[in-house]
Amino acid sequence: MSKINLEEAIKQSTDTDLSDIVDEGKVRAPGGNLAIVIFVIAVLWSFFHLYTAGTGLLTAMLQRSAHLSVGIALCFLYFPFNKKNDSAYERVPWYDLLLAAAGFCSIFYVYYYFDDLVWRIGAPTTTDLVMGGIAIALILLAAHRAFGLVLPIVTVFFLTYPFLGQYYPTLIGHGGYRLTRVINDLYITNTGIFGIPIGVSATFVFIFVLFGSFFQTSGAGLYIVRLAFSTMGRFRGGPAKAAVMARGFMGSIIGSSVANTVVTGSITIPVMKKAGFSPEVAGGVETAASTDGQFLPPIMGAAAFVMAEFTGIPYWQIAIAAALPAVISYFALLAIVHLQAAKTGMKPMAKEDIPPFLRTFIRGIFYWFPIAILVYYLLIVRLTPILAGYYAILAVFLIMLIVRVVKLVESLKEEDTELFESMLTQARGLWNDFLSGLESAAKSMAGIAVACACAGIIVGVVTITGLGQSMILLLTSVAGDNLFILLVMSAGISIILGTGLPTTAKYVVMATLVAPAVTTIAPQVPVLAIHLFILYYAILADDTPPVGVAAYAAAAVARSEPIRTGLLGFKFDLGAFLLPFMFVYNPEFLLIDTTWYNALFVAATSLFGIYCFSAVIQQWLFTRMKIWEQVILLVVALSMIWPTWYTDIIGATIFLLVYFHQRAVKKREDQEALATGT
């Protein structure tokens, strides 16, 4: 095992340009005047959302059309058609400029003619229909650019349903719909393209992506990595555990799996490799930890904001309910990483390589101020997420200013340094940080906007055709009154969709088609529990091969094989696989109608069950487990889905038997190894 130098790894990461890696993958970096034009468009787009968040949003359709018009244009400017050709990232061909202009015009048409369109809803003109058709087609093309084939294919499948429904089986069939009706509802009303998903993208999601972007630009990411290593470096497999902890901190702020992976993974992955982890394991740990960041409040992924709009449940309530499951999911990941380190004989980091905790914490304590502001206004004062995010951004600006002032003071201590020159340098740095934060947010949001537009199309089709009611009949006819079977079906469908759909689109499809069926079968289950169940599996599916974008990003940093990296990431995430079933059958996990001592009891039993399940996944407790031991611990883990005092006592007793047996086997193996000198 080579010597680990954390500060050297941090320096190497800061020297690496990661600014062109975003949620959907690598983006173009053309040179010349075109690069300046794209940069200006991106910065102005982000500034528009920052300005409207602070001064007041536009009318819903105006805000959404202004948002999507630039977002779709940026998709054609950022993402090439042929992603395998490296030269495609160095230039923007003429046809992409044309597509960007056409995409902008087709959506901005709604903004420009909004007053007229309001009066002709239900009676669109020929121009309205043509522009609507162009908009739908270009949204599909832009989705292909950002996410690949699966999202547009799924959207097209839903788009054909209004016209081919008469050929479907009676249970899900219908009489058919005219093209005029479909385009009118999808393009002119707020039930299709400009529905809830794009509304959330244009407001809540953008402001929190901006916050995460500025927070990262301020230098908070490196501080959190140092803090994580100072906390976990002293334990077995410390670098991997530090990666999990750092991802938890940053994931709760950035809310983006790929952004988490590429930003701090450039530090944690090399350190994990130097500690002895294979490149695939290091990339898999980073993938799983970064994906799970979308579980964590105060900022969860974009889908959580869509959930708030779909269910009518305030976001602060969703964040509080998600807190305990999020902590348990990260405990599961830490447990699997610990067992992986034990299985492969990993050692703690050398003492001299571990940053001192107290000094590390104090040196960056001001970075917690924006988070405190966000939590205060979001969860205590309970302002709207937009205002809470806006105030948190102002707090980040203050931190960025303080950092620059500190650098100014440090520079003045050097000899031959002029005050005016140093002030000018730091002012330029602050301005560049501001512009960099705006541009980074735009790169992340372009694909999200298009994904939300596709999700809006799917919701619009379901609304027009009544497909939701048909799906309730279909699913209940298969599952009957058995909630468990329906939940297993839902998890399976979400995992399958996870091979290509982004989280928000997966959640929208499942929430539209599956959630009503679950509510019908089990009306006693809280709506929040059902939707969080769907959200969890939508997120867990993010690192499912063969299309796990976070796994590809981690593999690029780790220089590992992407499919194996994704498989290992999915394996490490399996520790939380039982968790959604737990809070559906026991809503106390979500702090619903419970007391603090019941919540502690539920947390303790769930942590116990998750650890047993993690041991089964790793086939390891103190030494390699036999099949009968794995089966016993799996039964114990499953019994925690319906926790009672009776099952807890039996489960704990059985676990202790396996525990002491494993200790005895491990002791015998150590004695044999000592005797043979191996």
Residue 346: partners with Cβ closer than 8 Å, 6 or more residues away = 236, 237, 240, 275, 276, 277, 340
Write out the DSSP string of 345-405.
Answer: T--PPPGGGSPPHHHHHHHTGGGHHHHHHHHIIIIIS---HHHHHHHHHHHHHHHHHHHHH
Nearest to 649 by CA among 638, 631, 636, 662: 636
Q: Which residues of the chain have pLDDT under 50?
A: 1, 15-19, 21, 23-24
Domain map (residue ranges) of the chain: 6-461, 605-678
- The span from the CA of 461 to the CA of 156, in Å, is 11
Contact between residue 39 and residue 437 where contact means Cβ atoms under 8 Å apart = no
Q: Which residues pair with 22 in a beta bridge?
A: 25
Ramachandran region, residue 619 (left: φ > 0; alpha: ψ -120 to 50; beta: rest): left
For residue 4, what is the DSSP state?
P
433/43 Cα distance (integer angstroms): 12
**What number of helices (H) and strands (E) belong to the chain?**
31, 2
Report the b/e string of 519-533 with b at 16+ CB within 10 A. Answer: bebbeebbbbbbbbb
What span, in angstroms and rounded, lies between the C-alpha atoms of 188 and 566?
41
Give the whole-angstrom CA distance, residue 42 versus residue 34. Answer: 12
Helix 467-479 / helix 503-513 crossing angle, nearest 10 deg = 80
CA distance 239 to 241: 5
CA gyration radius, the chain: 26
HSE-CB at 141 with a 13 A cutoff on CA atoms is 21
The sign of the dihedral angle between the CA atoms of 234, 239, 240, 242 is: positive
* φ and ψ of 298, to 5 deg: -80, -20
Largest Cα span, the chain: 89
Instruction: Give me the pLDDT at residue 256, please.
Output: 59
Predicted model pTM: 0.86
Residue 446, both tokens: 């372009």
pLDDT at 72: 97
Token digits of residue 316 = 């602060």
Tokens of 622: 């103190």
Q: Can you give the pLDDT at residue 294?
A: 77
Residue at token pair 């992409």:
96
Decide: 225 and 267 in contact? Cβ < 8 Å: yes
Is 614 in contact with 339 (CB distance < 8 Å)? yes
